[in-house]
Amino acid sequence: MIAILCVDNNNGMMFCRRRQSQDRLLREHVIHLIGLHKLWMNSYSKTQFINTDSAQILIDDNFLEKALHGDYCFVEDMDISQYTEKLEKIILFHWNRLYPADMFFTLDLSEWTLEEKEDFTGHSHEKITKEVYSK
Amino acid sequence: MNKVKLSIAVLLSSITIALSACAQPVTTESENLALAAHYENEIKAVSSLNEGQQSPDTASLSSSQPYETSSPQEMSSPQEMSSPQEMSSPQESTFSLSAIVPYAGQPYIAVNGNIPYFEEEDLIAQSYETYSDLDDLGRCRAACASIGIDLMPTEERGNIGQVKPTGWHLAKYDIVDGKYLYNRCHLIGYQLSGENANEKNLITGTRYLNVQGMLPFENMVADYVKESENHVLYRVTPIFEGNNLLASGVLMEAESVEDKGESILFCVYVYNVQPGIIIDYATGESSLDTSTPETANTPVPDTAATEPSTSDDTTDPSTSGTAAAEPSTPGAAAEPSASSAETVIEPQPQVPQEAEPQGTTYILNTNTKKFHYPSCSTIGQMKESNKEEYTGDRENIISRGYVPCKKCNP
């Protein structure tokens, strides 16, 4: 399972049960990234992919349990720390912005290897940084 | 007439504020359509504060002074505007400062379950902005805007150093990020409305209030509006206790209009505090809190204040002192106009680990679809907008359709 998450400068993810931000070019990036693999997400995340035409997207509110090896999981409002055994990779998209937050990405990545780092320009974000961590 | 009502009542030592709707422009659908066509969503609404139940010693949020409104582009014929709607009754929703717990390490706290005190009819998908007149003590009051992409600035912010909000002091401390305790804080951030040196939109706020407190909310709203091109109803109300010249904090409210708050919805109180600094809110004077562990060993700087430089924003004036008062002679020397929230350089991302990525760094030309070593001589000829840095596996770049530069042969 490969988790995809978006975080702000403080590793914040959500505020007041709402995502901190979104970007259409980031979504395009994700769709390109997964190739022919499955992309799991819950019904909340589906709301931002509503106009994304991809047969690979699977919606299930219990998707972290169902995702298999090699599947991608777009995680916005869930804690993945209890799924570390299943995780093969973590892809973090940094907004490079400070937003309010009351839910954070808390996984300790000190034992993970940063194998790739890339910047790109979003639609509404000057610079989005993608980091790929593997075990 | 479209009214915005703010009233304040003092109950014991607390402040209870009856917040009102933001000013709305026209009311009927046909008028809305006509206006939209006429002014391309640029609305200059005229509204006023109702006479509230004003306590004699709490003038800040309860004045009958009318709101003054403005828009980025002045309308050529304001008389063509329909009269703003008279609000039928004051809102009952209240904000009580007494309900706010003392600052305990977090820059903001949710109020009213994070639900703004807006009325449903306030949520209109047209851009406008309104700023209250200053009260009798010269203090700012509520500023409200329906933030749309057409309201946002298209140029860099100008100098705001000429504005001296109530409670303003030139105070400099080593423990404060950027040294200066106080910033001129935009109520409606410049990145949202493009409003520059409007004294009705600038309060004296700590660096902490500006950067840690207000900026994240401004960022969230700004990026949502840019992404969706929808509107966000946004109101910021400075909260003054009694006749204090320095606000205790600000109430920030926002709700995305087109999706009725599904994307943006918050109601927070942001503390006008600075950790490690003691502030007298009656005057704005300040001193180092030597009782706290983080400042106990911090030397108090010299108190002799020399004349500041005349530069604006980021230039460090040659002023020192625990709380150096600004020059009393108007125009003698411009004190630094501390950065507004939107001009502040944000902290660097907190990378979960410090390890460098494995792999080689390449420069991608997103236009020609070639990739280069960073040392390649052709990079200097590349447009910045076409340049993308990539660190990782070479095969990943090729799989994205890029080909290696024939000169540096990466």
Asked if the Cβ–Cβ distance from B392 to A11 is below 8 Å, we say: no
Same domain assignment for residues B319 and B283: yes
Q: What is the pLDDT of residue B310?
A: 30
Residue B166 CA: distances (Å) to CA of A109, B2, B58, B246: 47, 29, 15, 6
Asked if the Cβ–Cβ distance from B357 to A124 is below 8 Å, we say: no
Whole domain around residue A72: which residue ranges? Answer: 2-134
Residues in chain B within 8 Å Cβ distance of A131: 351, 357
Whether residue B19 lies inside any domain: the answer is: no
Cβ-based neighbours of B138, under 8 Å, separated by 6 or more:
B166
Reduce the secondary structure of chain A to three states and give it as a string.
Answer: CEEEEEECCCCEEEECCEECCCCHHHHHHHHHHHCCCCEEECHHHHCCCCCCCCCCEEECCCHHHHCCCCCEEECCCCCCHHHCCCCCEEEEEECCCCCCCCEECCCCCCCCEEEEEEEECCCCCCCEEEEEEEC
Q: How many CB pairs under 8 A join A and B?
A: 104
pLDDT at B409 over 50: yes
- Is there a contact between B152 and B145 (Cβ–Cβ < 8 Å)? no
pLDDT at B303 over 90: no
Same domain assignment for residues B189 and B245: yes
What's the token pair of residue B49?
A: 């504060």
Asked if the Cβ–Cβ distance from A100 to B266 is below 8 Å, we say: yes
pLDDT digits (tens, 9 = 90+) for B316-350: 322 232 333 333 333 333 343 333 443 333 333 33
| Rounded distance between C-alpha atoms, residue B261 and residue B259, angstroms | 6
Q: What is the pLDDT of residue B15?
A: 52
Mean pLDDT, rounded, for A116-122:
97
Residues in chain B within 8 Å Cβ distance of A118: 388-392
Asked if the Cβ–Cβ distance from A116 to B396 is below 8 Å, we say: yes
pLDDT digits (tens, 9 = 90+) for B143-163: 999 999 999 998 888 889 899
Q: Which 8-state DSSP code applies to residue B106?
A: -
Same domain assignment for residues B291 and B374: no
Residues in chain A within 8 Å Cβ distance of B258: none
pLDDT at B166 over 70: yes
Residue B53's φ and ψ, nearest 5 degrees, are: -85, 90
Residues in chain B within 8 Å Cβ distance of A115: 357-359, 392-393
CATH code for the domain in which residue A103 is found: 3.40.430.10
Same domain assignment for residues B198 and B122: yes
Q: What is the pLDDT of residue A65?
A: 96
Residues in chain A within 8 Å Cβ distance of B392: 115-118, 132
Asked if the Cβ–Cβ distance from A16 to B265 is below 8 Å, we say: yes
- Is there a contact between B228 and B152 (Cβ–Cβ < 8 Å)? no
Same domain assignment for residues B134 and B192: yes
User: Would you tell me which residues 341-360 of chain B have a C-beta closer than 8 angstroms to some C-beta of chain A?
Assistant: 346-353, 355-359
Whether residue B386 lies inside any domain: the answer is: yes
Asked if the Cβ–Cβ distance from A16 to B114 is below 8 Å, we say: yes
Interface residue B226 vs chain A (CB under 8 A): yes
Whether residue B12 lies inside any domain: the answer is: no
**Residue among A24, A43, A97 with most chain B CBs within 10 A, to mutate:** A97
- Is there a contact between A44 and A135 (Cβ–Cβ < 8 Å)? no
Whether residue B88 lies inside any domain: the answer is: no
| Rounded distance between C-alpha atoms, residue A89 and residue B174, angstroms | 42
pLDDT at B377 over 80: no
Asked if the Cβ–Cβ distance from B350 to A96 is below 8 Å, we say: no
Provide the 3-class DSSP secondary structure of residue B318. Answer: coil
- Name the percent of chain B lying above pLDDT 90: 42
pLDDT at B200 over 50: yes
Residues in chain B within 8 Å Cβ distance of A36: none
pLDDT at B140 over 70: yes
pLDDT at B87 over 60: no
Whether residue B379 lies inside any domain: the answer is: yes
Interface residue B374 vs chain A (CB under 8 A): no
Same domain assignment for residues B237 and B332: yes
Q: Quick one: closest CA in B to A32, which residue?
A: B400
Q: What is the pLDDT of residue B102?
A: 95
- Is there a contact between A1 and A71 (Cβ–Cβ < 8 Å)? yes
Same domain assignment for residues B375 and B258: no
Whether residue B204 lies inside any domain: the answer is: yes
Domains in chain A: how many in total? Answer: 1
Same domain assignment for residues B393 and B300: no
Closest partner CB to B227 (pick from A11, A115, A123): A123
Place of tokens 């049960």: A17
pLDDT at B139 over 50: yes
From B217's Cα to the closest Cα of chain A, the distance in A is 6
Same domain assignment for residues B381 and B243: no
Asked if the Cβ–Cβ distance from A22 to B347 is below 8 Å, we say: no
Same domain assignment for residues B281 and B320: yes
Same domain assignment for residues B217 and B179: yes
Instruction: Write the ipTM.
Output: 0.95
Q: Bigger pLDDT: B388 or A95?
A: A95
Domains in chain B: how many in total? Answer: 2
Sign of CA dihedral B347, B115, B188, B31: positive
CATH code for the domain in which residue B252 is found: 3.40.570.10
Q: What is the mean pLDDT of chain B?
A: 70
Whole domain around residue B372: which residue ranges? Answer: 360-404
Asked if the Cβ–Cβ distance from B220 to A16 is below 8 Å, we say: no
pLDDT at B180 over 50: yes
Same domain assignment for residues B110 and B244: yes
Whether residue B50 lies inside any domain: the answer is: no
Mean pLDDT, rounded, for B164-187:
95
| Rounded distance between C-alpha atoms, residue A48 and residue A44, angstroms | 8
pLDDT digits (tens, 9 = 90+) for A13-63: 999 999 999 999 999 999 999 999 999 999 999 999 988 877 889 999 999
**Residue type, position A63, single letter:** F
**Residue among B149, B227, B259 with most chain A CBs within 10 A, to mutate:** B227
Concatenating the DSSP letter of every residue in B333-380 gives SPPP-PPPGGGSPPPPP--S--PPPSSEEEEEETTTTEEE-TT-GGGG
- Name the percent of chain A lying above pLDDT 90: 93
- Choose one of B318, B343, B368: the last residue of a domain: B343
